[in-house]
Structure 1
Amino acid sequence: MKNASEIARELVSRRLAACVNMFPISSIYRWNEQIAEQNVIAMFVKTDSSCLNEIIEVVKSLHTYDLPAIEFWEIEGEQEYLDWVHVNSS
């Protein structure tokens, strides 16, 4: 959780994200041809797509994993909220 909080604070302080939500989850995955299971923190980074490359750089530089899972989805939503995300992450 400490590393996730550090990453989230850095993204918000640099205005690369308007908000970051963190959720504890259990993950089962294959790594180095072994099946692993670990409790991890999933982070939902609410941002504008113009920040994606910078976010990738920040996450990779601060994350403790060799290969952090960084995925992006385009979203639709209530326009006033999406405007707030845009203003606060660019």
Structure 2
Amino acid sequence: MEQLETRVAYLRGLAEGMDVKGSEGRILEEMIRVMDQMAKRMRELEERVDDQEAYLEALDEDLTDVEATYTAKRRTRRPRTRWPSNVRTARRRSSSTTTC
């Protein structure tokens, strides 16, 4: 981006050295002003993109930490006790008959 700003400054110096008068000079000056504004705006946008990239990298690192914590907890969790099918059936029958 600095190269673009340097080139615009170079063009500004050339235009001043040419000493162009009249409408051509005004057009040339305005074109250089527009290019200068565009270069500044592009620099600002580049800085914002850099900030967004840093933010996304931080989010990615946080997400990696959360995933690692979740995965570690899943590995250390006790497995669920599975009742044999005959016990499950008996438990269902006993709970349905004990209603008041």
TM range (shorter): under 0.3
Higher helix share: 2
When the two structures are superposed, what TM-score results if normalisation uses the length of structure 2? 0.22
Higher strand share: 1
When the two structures are superposed, what TM-score results if normalisation uses the length of structure 1? 0.23
